[in-house]
Structure formats: C-alpha cells, structure tokens
Structure 1
C-alpha cells in the first residue's frame, strides 16, 4: 500500500466495549494500550492512598473516590482507567451507570517502569487537554509523589513530595498525607 494512501486506524469506545473482559485496556488518541496487571506493591500503595483519601473525602462530604478498573471516557477515542480518581460533589453528574463521562477533579497514577513514559508524558498531556485539575504521579521506586496542577499551559508540577514529607493538595484542601505511612 502506498504510504500516501495509508490511513491510520482509530479505535473508538464502541470498539473498546467489545474487548476481552479479562484484560485492562485504554484508548488514547484512538490507539489501544493494554494495561498490565499491577504488582502487589503497587496494590499495597494504591490501597493505602485510596483509603486515606476516601476517609478525608467522606468525612468532609467532598464527593466520590473511585479506583481502577473504571472507565473515564473523555471522548470516543480517549478512554482511560486511572488508578485512583476523585470527583467533587459539584460534578457528580459526570458519573453514569457504566463509566465516568468527563474529567475527574483529581487523578492519581502509580507509575511502574513499563508505564512511566505514558503516565509522565502522554497522560499528562491528555489530562491537561480534558481539564483534570490535579494530577498525582506516585513513583514506587523513588518513593515520591509529584503533584501537578492545571494551569493555562497544562498540568504543571507544584511540588515533588518525598517519603518523609506530608503531601497537601490544592483540590482536596486541608488533606495532609504522611507519605511515610503510605510507602
């Protein structure tokens, strides 16, 4: 086939709904990405972080917390499954019976060597494009959390918290997470 005539194939959310249920997939800009199953340490950190955030959110009546696998549908060609997400009570209308239709206020991704580029670069751009207000990248190897906030130019790093720090959020005002209790 002549490269001038070659067309790129884009997958949609409708295609995605027919994928195998025993694997996790994401679609970014119409390209399918299979998401490998997380390792136990990833799950430990995810659970502790989610429990801490959920307790704060419920105690203060701020909204809802969800975790993967749950589809966040930004568009027909952009569907992701963040590790943890927060949706404020003012925006609960984006929660549907089947998925989340739009940008959560906060997304947390726990990176691994195989997902690092996608989480740091591709998803950062994607989340910026669709208006995610705050994005946390949890680095298991470095035992740190990079907190980014949405600015005019996209998601920008506010602070990188180390294991000995107390993480604070612009979206979840008042939360203080002792990272040595998470890692």
Structure 2
C-alpha cells in the first residue's frame, strides 16, 4: 500500500522534476515493452509481464497440474450450474495497471463475464483468484501478486500449497486494498467468500476420490 508520508522528502526535493523525468522515462519504456510482450505472446507459452520484465514459466509439475485441474473442475461445474459467471485457468491474461499475469484459476462474476466476447484476450481484475505454489513462483505469488491483486480489489485470493496440502484464504475487508488471512486449512472444508455457496473439502484438491465425491455433492 502506498504510504504518502514516505514521499514527502521526494516532493520537497529540488530534484523532484528530474526524479519525475526518470520515472516517466522508465514507465514509457515499460509501456513499449508491454505492448511488444502482448503482441508476441502465443497460446503455447505461459509468460507474465511484471515490473517491466517478461517472466517465462517453466513446465508445471504433475502435482501442480493435478491440483489445478481438480479445483477447476469443481469451481467451473458449480459456477456454470448456478449461472454465477465465468471460470478460466492458466492462460487467461489478467491485465492490471502495471503488470500482466496468468493465474492458475480465476473467477469473474456475471457483470464482468458478460462483457467477454469470443475473441476476448486481455481480461480485467477477476473477482476471485487462485495460485498453486511451485518452487519458481512462490515468491511472486506471496509477493508482487499478493500486493497487486489486493490493490486491484480482487475480493478473494487462495494460495494452495501442494506439498503441505493446505489452502490459505485471503480476503479484503470493507473498502481496504490489503489482504487479511481469513484461515489456513489442512483439513475440513473451505467456503468461498466471493463465489456464493461454493464450499468444498480441502481433500478434494489433493485426492481424486475426494474430488469425485465433492463433484457429486456440487451437482446434487
């Protein structure tokens, strides 16, 4: 969160015009690099644009793919069954103010989803986002993404740990733009604060049988 008190010394500095010139030059270069990134991005490549840099993703491990698939199956089934909006996985490019991300799972409520045509490729901030941790992404999932998702009003953020088999549920309170940990669970069930009525066992993300049983429950 921006603390304007930290900027007071900069605002008071006679070097402020020069500082602004440097910042504006950097942002202009970033905009050009971002435009090039979007032009050159292909469906076969998973990449993100973060703080002016293109971040390429290595192929995901089986455990990551399985957890993502299980959650996607449950969430997508529930959302479409109840007409709540749209769910995408991994290749949806989320375009925020400065950065472009491809989260593991995202949910858009009906209002936003209704604006997406068949050729839509650049998406706004979703209402709910899930990142499944990996060795190469954990620092970003807990760092720049954690901050950026909150600042853009994404109401709920789950961080899933495949090794610990846990889900951390972060939510925004009132009009705040900084996440608070609602709960960290290794068992029992978790209910979304954004996707109304969506509740699943934690085990359903880490076990095929539990996933199948949860799917049946959601379809009843």
With structure 1 as the length reference, what TM-score do the two structures score? 0.87
Gaps of 5+ in 1: none
Equivalent in the alignment of 2:36 = 15
Task: Give the superposition deviation at 1:181.
Answer: 2.2
Equivalent in the alignment of 2:197 = 174
Equivalent in the alignment of 1:90 = 111
In structure 2, distance between residues paired with 1:153 and 1:181: 30
Is residue 156 of structure 1 aligned with residue 203 of structure 2?
A: no
Equivalent in the alignment of 2:102 = 81
1:69 match: secondary structure: coil
Of residues 59, 76, 80 in structure 1, which corresponds to 2:81? Answer: 59
Q: Is the 8 A contact 1:94 1:102 kept in 2?
A: no
Equivalent in the alignment of 1:26 = 48
Matches within 5 A, 1:134-153: 134-151=156-173, 152-153=176-177
**More strand as a share of residues:** 1
Q: Is the 8 A contact 2:93 2:101 kept in 1?
A: yes
1:10 match: secondary structure: helix
2:170 match: secondary structure: strand
Task: Give the superposition deviation at 1:24.
Answer: 1.6
Alpha-carbon displacement from aligned partner over 1:28-74 (angstroms, at most 9, x marks no partner): 23222112221111111111111011111112111010011121111
Q: Is the 8 A contact 2:92 2:123 kept in 1?
A: no
Task: Give the superposition deviation at 1:26.
Answer: 0.6
RMSD of equivalent CA atoms:
2.0
**More helix as a share of residues:** 2
Gaps of 5+ in 2: 1-21, 207-220
Q: Is the 8 A contact 1:85 1:107 kept in 2?
A: yes
Of residues 26, 29, 49 in structure 1, which corresponds to 2:71? Answer: 49
Equivalent in the alignment of 2:12 = none
Task: Give the superposition deviation at 1:153.
Answer: 4.5
How many matched pairs? 177
In structure 2, distance between residues paired with 1:103 and 1:94: 13
2:95 match: secondary structure: strand
